[in-house]
Amino acid sequence: METPNYQKNSNEYQSIIIEIRAGTGGQEAALFAADLFRMYQKYALSKNWGLKILDSHPTEIGGFKEIIFEIKGEDAFKKLQFEAGVHRVQRIPKTEKSGRIHTSTATVAVLPKPKITAIKINPQDLKIETYRASGPGGQYVNKRETAVRIIHLPTNITVTSQSERSLFQNKENALSILAAKLLQQQEEKEIDKLSQTRKMQIGWAKRSEKIRTYNFPQNRVTDHRLKKSWQKLDQIMEGKLDDIVTALSLAFIKT
């Protein structure tokens, strides 16, 4: 299948919102989601980009059912837009006693954060709820209702934020996530109006598409779009993504 050429206006976005969700594989998938977050966190640090967690749902053993964070920095969207899709890991889980290799997945969405003027949200279209922030296992970690859930009534998009101690800040975080999701939906609607050929040229990466496999026993990562593998997976998981990012950019960004 031909891989689409990604957003030509990627230079417009200085901030992106990345959403990582554990897929198939239970607790191991949640641990893999946490590993992916740390990989992007270290990559952002190497680029002197800012990173802010907007929402997270941790597990009791250090994984994430879901984590949403913002990265702010020059060329952040241009470099990381190709990370959207299904990431697959093959390794022996720490909880595996028989030494069997398990396969788990996590999905990644990369959303450009729109400028305030780009997406107009009518306050009357919002249903805002507050609740107490919870930690791993669902136990409440805050006695005050500082967590926020926002439902956009016209689209039924629901977003949450509980990472901050302040109700106001959590609301701001949730609105940022909502704006990014609305922008993505708007872009996808515009693409749907185009011919199939044009969709393939400029379409968004779908989260249902398997893009990469991380094979820990062989210390190798394979990008299925490029049909190319890299060794030193251990270093890649430490945020050394430059080789992969460059290869994807050369393949899919048309000047």
Q: What is the pLDDT of residues 47-64, one digit of tens each?
A: 999 999 999 999 988 999
Q: pLDDT band for position 200 (50/70/90)? A: very low
Q: How far apart are the first and last CA of the chain?
A: 22
The pLDDT value given to residue 116: 63
Q: What is the pLDDT of residues 134-144, one digit of tens each?
A: 766 555 555 57
Answer positive or negative: Cα dihedral of 137, 142, 144, 148.
negative
Task: Kindly report the number of other CB atoms within 10 A of residue 254's CB atom.
Answer: 9
Q: Which residue has the higher pLDDT, 10 or 249?
A: 249
Q: Delineate the domains of the chain, giving CATH numbers in brackets.
A: 10-252 (3.30.70.1660)
Distance CA 136, CA 63 (A): 9
Phi-psi region of 85 (alpha: psi -120 to 50; beta: other; left: phi over 0): left
Task: Work out the mean pLDDT of the chain and round it to a whole number.
Answer: 84
**Per-residue pLDDT for 253 more than 60?**
yes
Q: If you count DSSP H runs as helices and E runs as strands, how many of each does the chain have, helices first?
A: 6, 11
The pLDDT value given to residue 151: 94
Asked if residues 83 and 111 have their Cβ atoms less than 8 Å apart, the reply is no
The pLDDT value given to residue 98: 79
Average pLDDT over residues 66-76: 92
**Per-residue pLDDT for 105 more than 90?**
yes
Of the ranges 95-104, 161-170, 212-221, the best mean pLDDT one? 212-221
The pLDDT value given to residue 254: 65
Range from 18-22, 76-80, 93-97 carrying the lowest mean pLDDT: 93-97
What are φ and ψ of residue 186, in 5° steps?
A: -65, -45
Q: What is the pLDDT of residues 148-177, one digit of tens each?
A: 999 999 999 999 998 888 888 999 999 999
The pLDDT value given to residue 6: 45
Of 172, 168, 145, 150, the C-alpha closest to 160 is 150
- Tell me the pTM: 0.80
